[in-house]
Amino acid sequence: MSSSVLHHSLCLILFLSLLLCLRASPNVVVVVTSSSQGGDDKQASTGHVEVSQSGLKASGKVSQRTQVTEGIEDVKRLETFNIQPNSLSISGLSSGAFLSVQFQFAHSSRVLGAGIVAGGPFYSALGNAFTAQEIMVHPELISTTQLELFAEECALTGEIDPLSNLRHHRVYIYSGEGDTVVHQGVSKKLEEMYHTNEVEVVRTVYNMKSEHGMPTLKQGIGCDKHFSPFILKCNYSASGDLLQTIYDQSLVAPNDEDNFVKENLIVVNQKEFLPPIVGHFIGMADNAYVYVPSGCQSKDTACKLHVHFHGCKQSYTAIGDEYVMHNGMNAWAERNNIILLYPQTKATDVPLNVYGCFDW
**Mind telling me the catalytic residues?**
94, 179, 212
Q: Give the 3-state secondary structure of residue 106.
A: helix
Q: In whole angstroms, what is the distance from residue 188 CA to residue 169 CA?
A: 18
Q: In whole angstroms, what is the distance from residue 132 CA to residue 37 CA?
A: 6
Query: What single-letter DSSP state applies at residue 20?
Result: P
Strand partners, 113: 170
The verdict on whether omega for the bond into residue 351 sits within 30 degrees of 0, i.e. cis, is yes
Q: Give the 3-state secondary structure of residue 30.
A: coil
Residue type, 112: L
Other Cβ atoms closer than 10 A to 1? 9
Other Cβ atoms closer than 10 A to 272? 12
- In sequence order, what DSSP letters do the residues of 84-97 get, joined into one string? EEEEEEEEEETHHH
Query: What single-letter DSSP state applies at residue 194?
Result: H
Backbone angles phi, psi at 252, to 5 degrees: -105, 130
| 181 in Cβ contact with 118 (< 8 Å) | yes
Q: In whole angstroms, what is the distance from residue 311 CA to residue 309 CA?
A: 7
User: Residue 85, by phi and psi: left (phi above 0), alpha (psi -120 to 50) or beta?
Assistant: beta
Q: Is the dihedral of CA 196, 94, 31, 342 positive or negative?
A: negative
